[in-house]
Amino acid sequence: MIAVETFPSIDQASSALTGDAIYLGGGTLVMRALNYGEQNFTRIVRSTDPTLKQIAASGDRITIGAGVTMAEVMASPELSFLAPVARNVGGPAVRNMASVGGNLFAEHPYGDFTVALLALKGSVTLNGGGEQEMESFLSSRSGFTEVVTSVSLVRPSERDFFWKKVSRVKPKGISVMSIAAWLPQSGGRISGARISFGAMGATPLRAKSAEAALEGQGLDQSSVAAACAAVRGDFQPPDDALASGWYRSEVAPVHLRRMLLGEGGR
């Protein structure tokens, strides 16, 4: 049998997260493992700390508590730019459960919300106040044994943020890939381009060649064509039941172009 330990504060939960314990967010992945006997834990640690539900804007950044669900993201006027992203996670019931914190750890092909956080210069705040930039967090998340209290990201202007999820089943389907881009412009030129892809590797990853192709350019047919040509070299995507790695590589430029130029099509 599993022991469940519920704590009113994150500090207490964090101290209890030792040995073969797992932290429970919304539980959509943890409970699934448990139902199938695939758990590698004997204790579940959770916290009812209200700070896990906070959403707070400060300057050009916004902080989202790790316990905030996708449905709560969609309902928050301050997070309206992330509503299309949250809406693309599961169906309505999953969105009432799936947390921002849990999405950080969701394995391929999941993790759509984290793809957007990566593009939006996201960082992860650990209990105790330590902060980790999203890319380094993702590259080391498998050995993670702490509690994430919140994530922080930039608040983009609507014009500068792009999002697209590609799935075979509509309106709810698992990602063949998901794509996010933050392309801030100054004087009509892109400065600080960030493009990230989900389901193109073990974790959400940045498309650094595509970013470089857009840097210093205007967002137009020719710069987008250069970025789409470059993106082919950015990933070695895996094969899975949804799509082969070859297929993912072939269609990534198509979906990147459609997203950036606002073209229709699936």
Name the site residues for another protein (rule: CB under 8 A).
1-4, 6, 24, 27-28, 31-32, 34-36, 44, 46, 71, 90-94, 96-97, 171-172
Near ligand FAD by CB under 6 A: residue from 34, 55, 83, 94 = 94
Closest CA to 226 of 236, 216, 238: 216
Give the CA distances from residue 185 to residues 54, 75, 182, 191, 262, in Å, rounded to whole numbers and listed in that order. 30, 28, 10, 6, 17
**What x-and-dash track marks residues 160-179 binding ligand FAD by CB under 6 A?**
--------------x-----
Give the interface size with ligand FAD as a residue count (CB under 6 A).
29
| 204 touches ligand FAD (CB under 6 A) | no
- Work out what residue 136 binds among another protein, ligand FAD, none; the CB cut-off runs from 5 to 8 Å by kind: none
Q: Give the DSSP per-residue string, 66-114.
A: TT-BHHHHHH-GGGGGGHHHHHTSS-HHHHHH-BHHHHTT--TT--HHH
Near ligand FAD by CB under 6 A: residue from 21, 79, 99, 160 = 99
**Rounded distance between C-alpha atoms, residue 191 and residue 121, angstroms:** 14
**Rounded distance between C-alpha atoms, residue 210 and residue 190, angstroms:** 12
% helix, strand, coil for the chain, step of 5 = 35, 25, 40
Stretch that binds ligand FAD, among 71-79, 109-117, 219-227, 246-254 (CB under 6 A): 109-117
81-86 long-range contacts (CB < 8 A, ≥24 apart) are 81/155, 81/156, 81/158, 81/161, 82/113, 82/116, 84/163, 85/112, 85/113, 85/115, 85/116, 85/163, 85/180, 86/113
Backbone angles phi, psi at 26, to 5 degrees: -75, -20
| 24 touches ligand FAD (CB under 6 A) | yes
| 27 touches ligand FAD (CB under 6 A) | yes
- Work out what residue 171 binds among ligand FAD, another protein, none; the CB cut-off runs from 5 to 8 Å by kind: another protein
CB of 2 to another protein, least distance (A): 3
CB of 205 to ligand FAD, least distance (A): 15
| 197 touches ligand FAD (CB under 6 A) | no
CB of 44 to ligand FAD, least distance (A): 9
- Work out what residue 160 binds among another protein, ligand FAD, none; the CB cut-off runs from 5 to 8 Å by kind: none
β partners of residue 164:
179
CB of 27 to another protein, least distance (A): 5
| 124 touches ligand FAD (CB under 6 A) | no
Residues that bind ligand FAD (CB under 6 A): 22-30, 32, 66, 89-90, 94, 97-99, 101-103, 105-106, 110-113, 147-148, 174
